[in-house]
């Protein structure tokens, strides 16, 4: 029987259910026990030092149409940065244009960034510029210690500008001020204040690759955003509370690092490309990095700082292209970032945990009092799944077509997209903070995404947001596994296979549907995993920060094993389609 031809009431007549495969969940009481045993979100404490040595190459390729009479490239020198607990040291740097500039100028902006401006009069139709850096990054996580009372005292005059609002950080907004008061009213330590604010932000913002706005008020209202939104909302609340914050922009490496707990491991990743985070000023210590999407009291050795500013716009000079032209024309710009690690420590052990936030963060071992959790705008508790018996299901009918999942991803992600500005005849392209976040899922490791089925479902297909990089031989298929103690266990369903040659090459990421035949899923939790044979090379797009359901619903393990003991700090994009069944 073809599901597409079923009408309301048809299934009520299917008394002989042996022709269908029924995927049954464990009973209601056991299901509730498993929910209680799930890994709880928390802050994991790390005390080991991080150290890396790496080479970074940023290459610009610029096609220049006729009519452009002057063109300039702005490049910010990667800075030396240090405090007692962190160091970024530039060992070697080199900036190489393909065509000698007509003029080269160096200047320092109001934030202290050192900027090189290369300009060409009557520029050629094509030019390139390559910036090369050799860098060492060290994080001494035990060394961030001290007495930092709150409210902040003894603030240097030069840092008071980082208390001021901006167009993107509306710390003077009444909504932001009231929120800061509620979060920080009982706080006595600056470290506690920052931790409470970042706990709030990570629990109330879900990652979106390219939101329509990036300011703090939009982020607070919508609850979505990318790295700029996380940083701007965090900064707005902290500045409103009298804590100096500046925005840092730079580059992050896609290579993950691992935090081992007593029972499992976390693989912590970011996309390779441009990124924004923040630094908080501590009197008599210095500026301390925080990434509101990942870490407290430090940023990892995957973060390479380039410039600072009041907000992400002020700190987006590096890579800016300026030109004057006859008519409304613009150059075509590509930016390619390559990072090679010469030396790297990538595995660390956790030494403790704190019970907040709901989504995970990783922190240095700063000694602090237990943080009181906020009850502001808490997300609703997970709904109780209904439980049905086999006899009840036999009486059910097709009720409604359903489509759900982790659906938001950019189909044609443009990692070279830039903001365009035209001021007094000089036009500017500024780099964006859009980066590709995807996992190579047909490698030696396999990955599994947890999904929630809220009602009895006649399963039609499950689609993954995939990009094909290569392969012509072999097959792809999906497996559905039972959830037990928040871990994939026995396989209970398998999709129809797709020959790799039937999947064409395409730009960006697209839904690739995997169809199922006669499978019914009852309400509950399941895991899906992409399986492969042959020479498949596919990436599966993901969103950082586990925006789908919980912080522990993506796992991986070696392909030849089924241990599923490594958790990921993201959720894959997937789409479930089928028909809800009702009495």
Q: Which residues pair with 307 in a beta bridge?
A: 249
Same domain, 205 and 289: yes
Same domain, 391 and 296: no
Question: How many CA atoms within 13 Å lie on the side-chain side of 555?
Answer: 26
Same domain, 164 and 289: yes
Same domain, 270 and 130: no
pLDDT at position 479, please? 98
Residue 329 lies in a domain: no
Given a cut of 90, whether residue 27 has pLDDT beyond it is no
Query: Which residues, including other chains, have CB under 8 Å from residue 439's CB and lie 6 or more apart?
Result: 447, 539, 540, 542, 568, 572
Higher pLDDT, 103 or 30: 103
Total domain count, the chain: 3
CA 242 – CA 260 distance, rounded (Å):
36
Among 79, 109, 137, residue at a domain's last position:
137
Query: In whole angstroms, how far apart are CA 68 and each of 77, 127, 334?
Result: 27, 13, 18
Query: What's the whole-number average pLDDT of the chain?
Result: 88
Residue 430 lies in a domain: no
Residue 149 DSSP label = B
pLDDT at position 413, please? 61
pLDDT at position 448, please? 98
For the purposes of burial, counting CB atoms within 10 Å of the CB of 380, is it exposed (0-12), middle (13-18) or buried (19 or more)? exposed
As a whole-number percent, the residues of the chain with pLDDT over 90 amount to 75
CA 262 – CA 551 distance, rounded (Å):
17
Among 96, 114, 137, residue at a domain's last position:
137
CB contact at 8 A, 75 and 85: no
Given a cut of 90, whether residue 157 has pLDDT beyond it is yes
Can you tell me whether residue 179 is helix, strand or coil?
helix
Residue 340 lies in a domain: no
Beta pairing class for 206-207 and 303-309: unpaired
Same domain, 24 and 59: no
Given a cut of 60, whether residue 160 has pLDDT beyond it is yes
Same domain, 144 and 133: no
Higher pLDDT, 506 or 382: 506
What average pLDDT does the segment 539-568 reach?
91
pLDDT at position 1, please? 31
Residue 172 lies in a domain: yes
What is the dihedral angle through the alpha carbons of 435, 317, 241, 381, rounded to the nearest 10 degrees? -10
What average pLDDT does the segment 92-117 reach?
97
Higher pLDDT, 359 or 539: 539
Same domain, 96 and 31: no
Same domain, 274 and 196: yes
Same domain, 351 and 395: no
Count of C-beta atoms within a 10 Å radius of residue 325: 19
pLDDT-wise least confident of 54-68, 88-102, 126-140, 420-434:
420-434
Residue 447 lies in a domain: yes
Given a cut of 70, whether residue 34 has pLDDT beyond it is no
The whole model's pTM is what? 0.88
Residue with tokens 């690092």: 257
Higher pLDDT, 359 or 33: 359
The alpha carbons of the chain give a radius of gyration, in whole angstroms, of: 26
- Closest C-alpha to 214, from 201, 229, 224, 200: 229
Given a cut of 60, whether residue 434 has pLDDT beyond it is yes
Order of strands, sheet of 321-325, starting from the edge strand that comes earlier in the sequence: 103-108, 114-121, 68-76, 321-325, 426-431, 418-423
pLDDT band at 24 (very low <50, low <70, confident <90, very high): very low
Same domain, 118 and 212: no
- Closest C-alpha to 399, from 2, 5, 6: 6
Q: CA angle, 538 as apex, 536 and 543 as ends, to 5°?
A: 160
Count of C-beta atoms within a 10 Å radius of residue 515: 17
Residue 192 lies in a domain: yes
Structure tokens at 554: 């993506």
User: In CATH, what number is assigned to the domain containing residue 259?
Assistant: 3.10.620.30
Residue 427 lies in a domain: no
For the purposes of burial, counting CB atoms within 10 Å of the CB of 416, is it exposed (0-12), middle (13-18) or buried (19 or more)? middle
pLDDT at position 430, please? 86
- Closest C-alpha to 319, from 101, 109, 62, 69: 62
pLDDT band at 383 (very low <50, low <70, confident <90, very high): low
CA 70 – CA 65 distance, rounded (Å):
11
Query: Which residues, including other chains, have CB under 8 Å from residue 385's CB and lie 6 or more apart?
Result: 25, 28, 31, 454, 523, 524
Q: Which domain holds residue 244?
A: 140-309+345-364
Residue 358 lies in a domain: yes
Same domain, 169 and 297: yes
Same domain, 558 and 466: yes
């Amino acid at each position: 029987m073809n599901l597409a031809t079923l009408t309301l009431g048809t299934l009520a007549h299917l008394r002989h259910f042996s022709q269908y495969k029924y995927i049954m969940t464990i009973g209601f009481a056991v299901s509730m026990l498993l929910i209680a045993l799930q890994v709880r979100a928390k802050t994991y404490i790390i005390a080991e030092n991080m150290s890396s040595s790496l080479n970074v190459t940023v290459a610009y390729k610029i096609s220049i149409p006729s009519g452009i009479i002057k063109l300039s490239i702005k490049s910010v020198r990667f800075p030396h940065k240090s405090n007692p607990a962190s160091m970024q040291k530039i060992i070697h740097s080199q900036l190489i244009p393909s065509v000698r500039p007509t003029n080269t100028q160096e200047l320092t902006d109001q934030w202290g960034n050192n900027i090189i401006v290369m300009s060409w009069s009557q520029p050629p139709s094509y030019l390139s510029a390559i910036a090369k850096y050799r860098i060492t990054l060290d994080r001494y996580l035990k060394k961030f210690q001290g007495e930092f009372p709150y409210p902040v005292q003894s603030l240097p005059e030069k840092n008071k500008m980082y208390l001021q609002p901006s167009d993107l950080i509306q710390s003077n907004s009444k909504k932001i001020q009231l929120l800061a008061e509620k979060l920080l009213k009982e706080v006595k330590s600056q470290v506690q204040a920052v931790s409470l604010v970042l706990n709030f932000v990570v629990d109330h913002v879900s990652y979106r690759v390219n939101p329509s706005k990036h300011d703090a008020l939009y982020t607070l209202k919508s609850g979505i955003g990318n790295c700029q939104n996380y940083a701007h909302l965090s900064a707005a609340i902290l500045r409103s509370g009298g804590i100096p914050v500046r925005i840092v922009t730079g580059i992050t490496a896609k290579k993950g690092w691992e935090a081992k707990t007593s029972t499992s491991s976390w693989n912590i990743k970011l996309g390779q490309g441009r990124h924004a985070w923040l630094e908080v000023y501590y009197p008599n210590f210095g500026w301390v990095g925080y990434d509101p999407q990942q870490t407290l009291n430090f940023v990892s050795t995957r973060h390479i700082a380039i410039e600072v500013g009041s907000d992400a716009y002020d700190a987006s000079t590096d890579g800016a292209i300026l030109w004057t032209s006859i008519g409304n024309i613009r150059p075509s710009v590509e930016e390619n970032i390559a990072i090679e690690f010469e030396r790297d420590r990538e595995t660390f052990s956790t030494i403790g945990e704190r019970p907040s936030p709901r989504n995970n963060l990783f922190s240095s071992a700063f000694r602090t009092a237990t943080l009181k959790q906020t009850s502001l705008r808490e997300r609703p508790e997970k709904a109780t799944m209904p439980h049905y018996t086999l006899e009840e299901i036999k009486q059910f009918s097709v009720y409604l077509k359903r489509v759900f999942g982790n659906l938001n991803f950019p189909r044609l992600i443009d990692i070279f997209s830039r903001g365009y500005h035209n001021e007094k005849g000089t036009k500017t392209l500024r780099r964006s903070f859009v980066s590709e976040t995807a996992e190579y899922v047909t490698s030696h490791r396999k990955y599994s995404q947890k999904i929630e089925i809220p009602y009895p479902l006649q399963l039609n297909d499950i689609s993954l947001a995939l990009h094909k990089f290569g392969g012509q031989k072999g097959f792809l298929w999906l497996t559905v596994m039972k959830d037990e103690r928040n871990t994939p266990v026995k396989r209970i369903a398998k999709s129809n296979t797709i020959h790799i040659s039937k999947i064409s090459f395409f730009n960006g990421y697209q839904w690739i549907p995997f169809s199922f035949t006669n499978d019914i899923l009852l309400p509950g939790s399941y895991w899906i995993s992409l399986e492969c044979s042959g020479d498949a090379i596919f990436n599966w797009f993901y969103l950082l920060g586990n925006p789908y359901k919980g912080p522990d619903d993506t796992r991986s393990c070696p392909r030849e094993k089924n241990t599923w003991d490594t958790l990921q700090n993201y959720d894959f994009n997937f789409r479930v389609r089928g028909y809800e069944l009702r009495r």
